[in-house]
């Protein structure tokens, strides 16, 4: 089934000049960029986006990080895009992300942070709908 997913290239990847590498990975894998913009996420939007994590120990640092600089937000479209992109992105903790995944291939050695993991991708149809609505 053709699906759309909300993907964010996070501030660490923008600072590390990885935008082109990451976009290239998605396009090479056959995904279509439907919408794309560079923004600095306002705090209120970050809090809505990450509402499911409110109250967790890493939440304050996550909000600080995701609002700390420019991000590239996009809608990607393709066959089974939501789960396919999650596989391409790899494990949340870059230290555990396998070779061949974006987090696995572009992680800093040694990994300093779970929070600064370069990419966000929607984890389900309902999150994709919700996140696309939030950002576009």
**Residues tagged active-site:** 120
Interacting residues with Mg ion between 116 and 135 (CB under 5 A)? 123
Neighbouring-strand partners of residue 9 = 72, 119
Give the strand order in the sheet containing 119-121: 32-39, 71-79, 2-9, 119-121
**Shortest Å, Cβ 123 to Mg ion:** 5
Which residue, 47 or 123, is less far from ligand ADP as judged by CB?
A: 123
Which residues contact ligand ADP (rule: CB under 6 A)?
Answer: 53, 58, 62, 92, 114-115, 117, 120, 123
Which residue, 3 or 123, is less far from Mg ion as judged by CB?
A: 123
Instruction: Assess contact for 77 and 31: CB atoms under 8 A.
Output: yes
């Amino acid at each position: 089934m053709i699906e759309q997913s909300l993907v964010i290239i996070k501030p660490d990847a923008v600072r590390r000049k990885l935008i082109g590498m990451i976009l290239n990975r998605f396009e090479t894998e056959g995904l279509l960029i439907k919408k794309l913009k560079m923004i600095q996420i306002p705090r209120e939007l970050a809090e809505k986006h990450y509402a499911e994590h409110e109250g967790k120990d890493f939440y304050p640092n996550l909000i600080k990080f995701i609002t700390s600089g420019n991000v590239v937000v996009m809608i990607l479209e393709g066959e089974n895009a939501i789960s396919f992109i999650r596989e391409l992105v790899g494990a949340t903790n870059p230290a555990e992300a396998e070779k061949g995944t974006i987090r696995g291939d572009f992680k800093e050695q040694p990994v300093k942070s779970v929070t600064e993991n370069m990419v966000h991708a929607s984890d389900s149809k309902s999150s994709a709908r919700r996140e696309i609505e939030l950002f576009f």
